[in-house]
Structure 1
Amino acid sequence: MSHAFAADDGDLDAAPYTETQFQASYSYSSANSSTMPIMMGFVFLGYFALLTVYLSFCCVGRQVYSFQALTNVEQQTIAGGKPQLPGPVAHLDEIWRKQFIVKVYGILCIQLAVTVAICFGMMQFGGYKLMVWTYTDGAWTRLASFVGTLFFLISLMCYKNRHPLNLILLGLFTLSMSYLIGVSCTAYAALGYSVVVVEALAITSLLFVGLTMFVMYSKMDFSFLGMVLPVLFLSLLIFGLFTMLAFDSFAMRQAYALGGCLLFVLYILFDTSMIIQHLEYDDYVLGAVELYLDFINLFMFVLQCLMTGRRD
């Protein structure tokens, strides 16, 4: 994988708030837990409405994914219902390009739906007690989930084309990652910032869909970013460590969060372009995982960006 989970939880690893502090924080933030399901519902429905429209264009549009002026080449199916000719999906007939895109974004929708559902459940029904437990007696669950996420991700990369093992590993990876994200979101919600989490989800969803549509319809190739993104990613990690250990301030943390947002906007452009032009037909799981990681990282950096000013 070209990148991994990079955002951090800032000062959430500090000692948990007391019950009195929690109540004061919750009241101060003007959070209203009764509106949480309604807000999440609207964001969730709006997000999937946008993706539904997008997938509809995928099924009916003839030129959306035609990055090259190719004449239709007759393809014959083999026993597994795959295109006979190997190579990037962009070189295949239109029907195979559409099927590939539907697979990638269909899997991505399921991953995001599972993650949102788990985070919503932990925020709504776990709250302060769950936050305290995950940062005290249950701290081992965070470590186990982190190790499990890395293990399942590496295993998935090794067996990305071995069906159905790749789908099993994909499911386990999604569950592990969802728990980690849920812990972070629960901590924010327990401190009275549920609304900020929903705002970050809405902003991330709009950015992701907008960037995806831009790549699809502009027909621009962003694969050249592959030479730059690893350097930018490493630079962001070093800057984050420097900020955390040597010069922690509002300006530095805000710069780190904004830098992370910009980095993963570029990753979305790059990975979407790679999926459309350079991945092979059997790499739909790889494509979905890369986009899922892009979405999660962008969400965490947007959340951190929104929270930086509120915690100072």
Structure 2
Amino acid sequence: MKTPLNQNNDLEAGAIPLLYPSMTENPELRWGFIRKVYAILTAQLLLTIPVAATVYLVPPIAVFLVETWLGWALKHMIIITSLVVLFAMFVYSKQHPLNYMLLGAFTICEALMVGLSCAFTSGKVILEAAILTAVIFLCLTLYTFWAARRGHDFNFLGPFLFSSLVALVVFGVIQIVLPLGKMTHMIYGIVGILVFCGYIVHDTDELIKRYEYDEYILAAIDLYLDILNLFLKLVEVMKDAESSDNA
């Protein structure tokens, strides 16, 4: 539960600046929550990188998952497991330590799929996409904290981003059934990049203002998925650009 400021803790809270002008909760508690979320997010990324790198650097793993029936079945089992675990995390997000166990399983599943998505991509593209993802995430995070401090609110982005995400999913399905040209595919990837940049701003704003203190798992998942999807869209666009240059 959020703790409002009162006369007894004004002096204590006054030592820590407000995150946004209309803030009524104790800033120290909110900063503690934010630090916890980013610590969890960092742990997820530190787990994701070696798992994804293993899939990428050991080609037989990707070949097995893509070119064999057993691997195909295992790949789809990983996807289904990831979705089931994600649903379970929403249900049990406040039950410790089960929430952390589910988060670890979800992170491993996502890391395997990220590694597989990058398996047949050049190392140059992967490195450039990783650097761009880190820079974009850092810049958008700092901007959102700066904007919130000055009274800006990004909650209005929610409906637009959700509608855009649904449109991206539908368009992706259409591309599977009716493949379009390379230029259209690149535009689709660029739109995806913009959508997930918007989600980083929106979810960071939610982290600053609206998440309850016991929703740290949900907050970390949102930011983690924003980062992964942004990275994969950057890889997709840069891969298309590289193939166009080589054509």
> Shorter-normalised TM-score: what interval?
0.7 to 0.9
Contact between 1:149 and 1:177, CA under 8 Å: does it hold in 2?
Answer: yes
Q: Structure 1 CA distance, aligned partners of 2:96 and 2:208?
A: 22
Aligned to 1:197: 126
Aligned to 2:55: 122
Q: Secondary structure of 2:120's match?
A: helix
Contact between 1:243 and 1:252, CA under 8 Å: does it hold in 2?
Answer: no
Q: Structure 1 CA distance, aligned partners of 2:77 and 2:22?
A: 49
Matched, 1:68 2:21: yes
Aligned to 1:214: 143
Contact between 2:52 and 2:113, CA under 8 Å: does it hold in 1?
Answer: no
**Partner AA of 2:42 in structure 1:** C
> What is the deviation of 1:69?
4.5
Q: Structure 1 unaligned runs (5+)?
A: 1-60, 71-90
Matched, 1:147 2:80: yes
Q: Secondary structure of 2:47's match?
A: helix
Alpha-carbon displacement from aligned partner over 1:87-113 (angstroms, at most 9, x marks no partner): xxxx42121111101100000001011
Identify which range, 256-265 or 229-238, moves more after superposition: 229-238
| Match runs of 1:1-312 below 5 Å | 62-63=16-17, 66-70=19-23, 91-124=24-57, 126-127=58-59, 129-137=60-68, 138-188=71-121, 193-219=122-148, 220-312=152-244
Alpha-carbon displacement from aligned partner over 1:76-130 (angstroms, at most 9, x marks no partner): xxxxxxxxxxxxxxx4212111110110000000101111111122222x12x22
Q: Structure 2 CA distance, aligned partners of 1:145 and 1:182?
A: 13
Matched pairs, number: 225
Q: Structure 2 CA distance, aligned partners of 1:166 and 1:309?
A: 40
> What is the deviation of 1:247?
4.8
Residue identity over aligned pairs, in percent, reads 29
**Partner AA of 2:50 in structure 1:** A
TM-score by length of 2: 0.86
Contact between 1:215 and 1:273, CA under 8 Å: does it hold in 2?
Answer: yes
TM-score by length of 1: 0.69
Alpha-carbon displacement from aligned partner over 1:36-90 (angstroms, at most 9, x marks no partner): xxxxxxxxxxxxxxxxxxxxxxxxx943x521345xxxxxxxxxxxxxxxxxxxx
Q: Structure 1 CA distance, aligned partners of 2:153 and 2:112?
A: 34
Contact between 1:250 and 1:309, CA under 8 Å: does it hold in 2?
Answer: no
Q: CA RMSD in A?
A: 1.6
Q: Structure 2 unaligned runs (5+)?
A: 1-14
Identify which range, 253-262 or 237-246, moves more after superposition: 237-246
